[in-house]
Amino acid sequence: RQLQLLLPTVQVFLDVDDLVEIGDLEWYIEASQCIMIFLSKGYFFSRNCLRELHHSVHVSKPLVLVHEVDPGKGGAPIETMKSDCPEDVRDKVFGGGEQPLRDVIEWHRISDFQLVSLKMIAARLLHASPKFSSRSMPVLYVPGEMSSLSLGFKKPTHMFVSKNNPGAALVADELRARYKSAGSRETQQFTFTYDMPHSMASVNFDGDEIFGTHTNLAVGAAEAMAGAAEAMANLSINTTKKALETTRKSFLRSSTSSAATQVTHMLLYLAHSTFE
């Protein structure tokens, strides 16, 4: 229903709400201009969902794939969804073989990110309509959305990025490219470095200190994380958060603000490979 707020005149048929007679399922598929498939755990094991899917492919209806990524909401890895999909329609649904790869839209629940998901869905629905089918994919904007705001850094920000933290440099580089200095086009307020600050060079990071039994914890930042990766991978998430907070406080205590290039922040990019 949120989609109708973006496209007020769109008519949405939702099978769980609007289907009166299960025998009419194929008729509703044929009466629709575009079929949106919400990929969640068990979708490809539902007999009626497979009826919709097979008939959509049979009559060559445009498909929009939306992926539930939250396991708590029934989400499953996209590779699992692909393997669950019947082999006879897999390439036509996801692409592959002689079929072009199809985009899969991740469904988010945080409002700003969810709006991105909704815009992507709306753009593909419009592109499937007669008016837009012969044009390129429409680009949609919503008043007040995050991407329309002019964001920037008001104060000089110099970030330390560890080369041992996979993905961190890409995030830092995108920050530098996208968010210029607020109110000034001449001075770049955001910079980052791979050089570890001197205050972080001496690190003592053992299991006892992670649990807080020592009071003289002196931890800098990302280089310490690299050295403690194996230990932290075996700790509970609460203990890991505690260690990161101690690291952050120690790093802030060791920083000074006299030099223009003094490191003010550390970027820690958390992913599956961070503590491997």
What tens-digit pLDDT sequence spans the chain (276 residues)? 788 888 888 888 887 777 778 888 899 999 999 999 999 999 999 999 999 999 999 999 999 999 999 999 999 999 999 999 999 999 999 998 888 899 999 999 898 899 999 999 999 999 998 888 899 999 888 887 877 777 777 788 888 998 888 889 999 988 888 776 555 555 668 888 988 877 665 555 554 444 343 333 333 334 444 444 444 444 455 555 565 565 555 555 544 444 446 888 889 898 877 776
In terms of domains, do 82 and 174 share one? no
**DSSP state at residue 157:** E
In terms of domains, do 22 and 102 share one? yes
18 within some domain: yes
108 within some domain: yes
pLDDT of amino acid 210: 40
pLDDT of amino acid 259: 44
190 within some domain: yes
Count of structural domains within the chain: 2
Contacts of 45 (CB under 8 A, 6+ apart): 84
Q: With b meaning 16 or more CB within 10 Å and e meaning fewer, what string describes 47-71?
A: eebeebbbbbbeeebbbbbbbbeee
Please give the single-letter amino acid code of residue 232: M
pLDDT of amino acid 185: 56
106 within some domain: yes
In terms of domains, do 65 and 116 share one? yes
Q: Do residues 232 and 225 make contact, with C-beta atoms less than 8 angstroms apart?
A: yes
236 within some domain: no
In terms of domains, do 36 and 87 share one? yes
In terms of domains, do 48 and 182 share one? no
pLDDT of amino acid 46: 94
In terms of domains, do 79 and 181 share one? no
214 within some domain: no
Q: What are residue 158's DSSP bridge partners?
A: 191
Q: Do residues 107 and 72 make contact, with C-beta atoms less than 8 angstroms apart?
A: no
| Nearest in space to 268 (alpha carbons), one of 155, 151, 171 | 171
187 within some domain: yes
Q: What is the pTM of this model?
A: 0.61
- Residue bearing tokens 């990766």: 229
Task: Provide the residue count of the chain.
Answer: 276
Please give the structure tokens belonging to residue 65: 């794939």
In terms of domains, do 133 and 44 share one? yes
| Domain boundaries, position 41 | 1-143+264-271
In terms of domains, do 164 and 45 share one? no
In terms of domains, do 68 and 180 share one? no
In terms of domains, do 166 and 116 share one? no
In terms of domains, do 55 and 176 share one? no
In terms of domains, do 127 and 3 share one? yes
32 within some domain: yes
